Amino acid sequence: MLAKHMTAGRTMLRVLSLFNADIRSSLEMLYQNEFSYEFDSTKFNRAFGFTPTAYAEGIRQAVAAKRR
């Protein structure tokens, strides 16, 4: 027999968090799954003269550093 999976909403997690510290900490971080992340580094880049490294270049540098 296959196991039946269910999800617990915010209210159920609040109740369960009274009895389980792991669920309590998960509840604190729930916002990370409820809202999308949107970052804009334009202001930081302008203020500090920062130029981000492209993904391909960053991977190349990480592999080169690991080989040393």
Enter the pTM of the model. Answer: 0.45
CB under 8 Å to 27, separation ≥6 — which residues?
A: 10, 13, 14, 17
Q: Looking at the predicted structure, is the pLDDT value of residue 56 above 90?
A: yes
pLDDT at residue 32 in the model:
84
Chain segment 3-39, per-residue pLDDT in tens:
788 888 889 999 999 999 999 988 888 888 888 888 8
Give the mean model confidence (pLDDT) for residues 31-48.
Answer: 88
Q: Report CA 41 to chain centroid distance, whole Å.
A: 17
